[in-house]
Structure 1
């Protein structure tokens, strides 16, 4: 008869050998406590639209794999210090990708580890059934990790691991093996509200809840015009936002590194102006391996334009004019005209008005707004 207790110990030992930093086991019971939270979350309009919309799928593992008897949760820490990072200075302004997007796409990183773990389990239990999920799966990675004892959910909505902090990629594996579950970690943020207080847009609404519609991380990934009230908030962020993790006291002194998470300072903190007219091929070749490239170049270019407006970078005006006149995408043209107005104001009024009559209504709105509503 298979010794599940020993198998669990062996799996844990093997997991550490293949670059998994934390591992826990839980049951395949439905996440009943999560269901009402998700119902309320959607009712309040907090959802980003990137999540699985079927709440039953999100809370019941058996709907994904009827034979599941346990869930193995894993966490891999990622670095949050960029050694040799280039400086952003006047005349040479740079943007920033969030830390979760540093190195190779984390879906690939996690999938490789889960595949290795699955292969090992298969050698021990040949007839096992398994299903792995990373971020794009239907289950809540955070709910699984929390119940499996990897950490507790902080006020910033992230799972806080005792050794890794919040700087973790999460994933899980559904298995048809009845492992003994681990106990959840009993801890909390106490009276600390620093992440809620420091969130640039007030997206953190308390007790780990997030209004995705106000979250800079979500906003940087949208493809349309960025709402006016958030343009002054994103700074030089091209993808994602790390503020609520950077200020978290539980993250002090933590910086996990792995050989397969290779940091490229010039790519992770790129010059803004060269991004503006980059071709699809150039973008894919340069940034395609990053998780932050998953939505394509359009949001990144829009954010780069807004960042230049944030810096009031006058040296970018010639390039912004090229984009405003020649880019085939109305949203990019409109944002470029807006940025020109924000940076140069009355100095470029003649240029903007000269092209006003030839533009679409949506672009005209941005042209006028750029001159009238300077941040």
Structure 2
């Protein structure tokens, strides 16, 4: 088997099926990444969404028998909407991060990897392959970095010269011994703009992320959002792009290569009030195709309530009162109570006082007390 020729044929085929960048590396363990993951674990910086077994995250031999190489792929996604919607008074909107625009990228990359695997099996029937995207065991970033897709930026994303960090990553472990590509040198230099731009200080330093403080992670949690992060949320309802938009390499980067990645503005920038009492069925029909829907509607609704306080949207008060009084979920009732206090007004104050008399859940009562305390502060300030 002429692996050099096969590699070139794979590269050419990858372009035909919509893979924007491809790289090859060995199947050796990722020793440096292992040390970093151990350190992250010691510092308790993990999100909890990761594969628990660090060895599986760094050792391809635990995932496929006799692996010889890994193929890394990248697909560029849009950073701008072609048709924008405007958030205005009475019609305030939230925002999904760019990586959640269009069809769930897991499906898109799995499709490309499946086609690539079929092509390889056609050429080398006895070859074994194992593909994964994001939720797989290996650390996508480590694979992409070593395969020459891009360098690992201080924002903890792979940054490519061609597409910036607006790329989805996937990889395929194979039993074919391809010649590895050369890793790319770090080009961040002394630039620290992403670290400085992080709203919560989650980027502890260049290349080190405390996931528990990262808004992208926090928007996916299901409990009460800690107080210190609520006003940092802005109008984000899923994910965060601050460290990407601050990156100078990303300036002007906007690619519309894949139709299935194109965002529907009404979906990725939805009216916040429309989310307050959306049914499960409506949520699945409207937001189900997005990767940002994977945790269900509860985190999105909670974030939408917090986003309404960002705008001090008085037009939402009546609906927030209804949510506080009738929603079955303590997190949603409590967050609505807190929001009513932040937005303010006589109706909100009266509703909170009434709710305080009938609410039984201790956590919700705590949020009602917070809401009422904002009125006390306003009276002191007058």
Under a length normalisation based on structure 1, what TM-score does the superposition of the two structures give?
0.98
Structure 2 residue aligned with 1:19: 18
Q: Is the 8 A contact 1:345 1:371 kept in 2?
A: no
Q: Is the 8 A contact 1:67 1:129 kept in 2?
A: no
Q: Distance in 2 between matches of 1:345 and 1:370?
A: 11
Structure 2 residue aligned with 1:288: 288
Where 2:221 maps in the other structure, the secondary structure is: coil
Where 1:135 maps in the other structure, the secondary structure is: coil
Q: Is the 8 A contact 2:202 2:210 kept in 1?
A: yes
Post-superposition CA distance 1:163-182 (Å, at most 9, x none): 01100100000011000000
Where 1:263 maps in the other structure, the secondary structure is: coil
Gaps of 5+ in 1: none
Structure 1 residue aligned with 2:168: 169
Structure 2 residue aligned with 1:100: 99
Gaps of 5+ in 2: 378-382
Query: Closer, same or farther in 2 for the Cα pair 1:232/1:182, shift >3 Å?
Result: same
Moved more, 3-12 or 246-255: 246-255
Q: Distance in 1 between matches of 2:232 and 2:372?
A: 19
Q: Is the 8 A contact 2:317 2:348 kept in 1?
A: no
Structure 2 residue aligned with 1:145: 144
Q: Is the 8 A contact 1:22 1:150 kept in 2?
A: yes
Aligned length: 374
Q: Is the 8 A contact 2:195 2:206 kept in 1?
A: no
Structure 1 residue aligned with 2:371: 370
Structure 1 residue aligned with 2:343: 343
Q: Distance in 2 between matches of 1:206 and 1:151?
A: 20
Structure 1 residue aligned with 2:45: 46
Structure 1 residue aligned with 2:206: 207
Post-superposition CA distance 1:143-188 (Å, at most 9, x none): 0000000011111000111101100100000011000000100132
Q: Distance in 2 between matches of 1:321 and 1:299?
A: 19
Where 2:260 maps in the other structure, the secondary structure is: coil
- Within 5 Å, which residues of 2 pair with 1:1-375? 2-257=1-256, 258-344=258-344, 348-359=348-359, 360-373=361-374
Shift of 1:347: 5.1
Where 2:130 maps in the other structure, the secondary structure is: strand
